[in-house]
């Protein structure tokens, strides 16, 4: 059961519930700034676990205290419910 590509209307609604996230080249995008590398990588480890449990992984980068996240469902060629679900989990992890 492959996740279905969302419509623009669904994406706009989804984004409204994700403050701080934006759409960038068709992907959910957010940059988190932590207090240092120790905190940034610790959060990344939590995100890695959440992603592996969903078998849905971010395209992400890190530069010291900054973590940049991009989410898309490659197999669907666009955003799906999986991306929004992972975004919400990531949000909770960085807020924690």
In the complex, the residues that contact a copy of itself under the rule CB under 8 A are 35, 37-39, 41-46, 48-53, 55, 57-64, 93, 96
Minimum distance from residue 31 beta carbon to a copy of itself (Å) = 13
Q: Bridge partners of 27?
A: 24
Minimum distance from residue 68 beta carbon to a copy of itself (Å) = 8
Tokens of 81: 């419910």
The answer to whether 54 touches 82, Cβ cutoff 8 Å, is: yes
19 Cβ neighbours under 8 A, 6+ residues apart: none
Cβ closest to a copy of itself, residue 4 vs residue 38: 38
In whole angstroms, what separates CA 73 from the centre of its chain? 11
Cβ closest to a copy of itself, residue 17 vs residue 66: 66
Cβ closest to a copy of itself, residue 22 vs residue 38: 38
Other beta carbons within 10 Å of 42: 12
Minimum distance from residue 34 beta carbon to a copy of itself (Å) = 9
In whole angstroms, what separates CA 83 from the centre of its chain? 6
Minimum distance from residue 63 beta carbon to a copy of itself (Å) = 5
């Amino acid at each position: 059961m492959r996740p279905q590509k969302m419509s623009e209307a669904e994406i706009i609604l989804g984004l409204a519930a994700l403050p701080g996230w934006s759409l960038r080249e068709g992907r959910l995008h957010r940059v988190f700034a932590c207090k240092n590398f120790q905190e940034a990588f610790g959060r990344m480890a939590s995100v890695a676990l959440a992603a592996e449990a969903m078998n849905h992984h971010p395209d992400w980068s890190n530069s010291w205290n900054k973590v940049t996240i991009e989410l898309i469902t490659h197999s669907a060629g666009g955003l799906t419910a999986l991306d929004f679900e992972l975004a919400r989990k990531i949000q909770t992890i960085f807020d924690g």
